[in-house]
A and B are shown apart, each in its own frame.
Chain A
């Protein structure tokens, strides 16, 4: 299979999306910095967005009558807008946490532990 001479299919986009998604999940799981966790969320959202866009492109697949067309683009747009909102609130929370606890390590925030 020569990647440079053959046209790209939907699977290729899905593979990149999967890599982004898994990297994001790993980032969310293992980073101790609250902002690192936030970056993981952004990666996950981007992986999902890439899938939405790829599914909506009719020329990437043989069964183009099932391409989601405009819907994929619109949902990707909503995801981007909501991600901006989520980042703003999460950042405000992280800064408050930093001010109150003098640390950004999420493992330290266990005051409510029973």
Chain B
């Protein structure tokens, strides 16, 4: 037997955790347990991000998704989970229907995932044999957050400077998207505060 490929080992670990806990979210009837399983699943996805060389996005997933959004969600669960709402049963007919639809969707997606030869293990392994050095992740190359930041303010350091204006299409940074997201967040902040505030009965009319 050859040496254990540690990337594969940790991929298997995190992938099984992510998929397994996602399945547990679907199968569990208790809303609080669902929240717990979802947290574990999202944490495992963050691990997969780290494995795929996206350190910054992985840390962001942990911070914003798991540490922010999920706290909010669990908070909402705790506010509403009383008596009959803790576990609500889904009718059996819906389960059957959902299994059929979900199963066919899964089969389709899996077929797509393994259909391209260049994406499969064999091709990657052959490529690794072809190149002299093992395909090790360069820490500074793949995940330098500086480059992400530069791209957000509109400078793409990872792509060559386009000499002709015609080549510029699709090569610009993400400044506009970044601005839109900032404004969007502001709107959401005000909107959520407006929706969730306590309405005093009879204060206006």
Direct contact of A and B (CB under 8 A): yes
- In the complex, chain B residues whose CB is within 8 Å of the CB of A29: 94, 98, 101-102
Q: In the complex, what residue of chain B is closest to A56 when comparing beta carbons?
A: B54
Q: Is the CB of B38 within 8 A of A9?
A: no
Cα-based distance from A43 to B171 in the complex (angstroms): 30
Q: CA of A88 to CA of B64 in the docked complex: distance in angstroms?
A: 12
Please classify the interface of chain B as helix (H, G, I), strand (E, B), loop, or mixed, using the class held by over half of its residues: helix
Task: Please tell me if the beta carbons of A16 and B15 are within 8 angstroms of each other in the complex.
Answer: yes
| B57: min CB distance to chain A, Å | 5
The 9 closest A-B CB pairs, nearest first, are: A14-B113, A18-B109, A92-B195, A62-B123, A10-B119, A23-B22, A85-B188, A63-B118, A92-B196
Whether B160 is near chain A, meaning CB under 8 Å from some CB there, is no
Q: In the complex, what distance in Å separates the CA atom of A12 from the CA atom of B53?
A: 15
Q: Are A88 and B22 in contact (CB under 8 A)?
A: no
Is B76 an interface residue when CB atoms closer than 8 A count as contact?
yes
Task: Tell me the count of chain A residues lying within 8 A, CB to CB, of chain B.
Answer: 78
CB atoms of B25 and A27 under 8 A apart: yes
Pair A95/B52 contact, Cβ less than 8 Å: no
CA distance A96 to B195 in the complex (A): 7
Report how far A5 CA is from B150 CA in the complex, Å: 38
CA distance A61 to B23 in the complex (A): 28
Q: Does chain A have a CB within 8 A of B40?
A: no
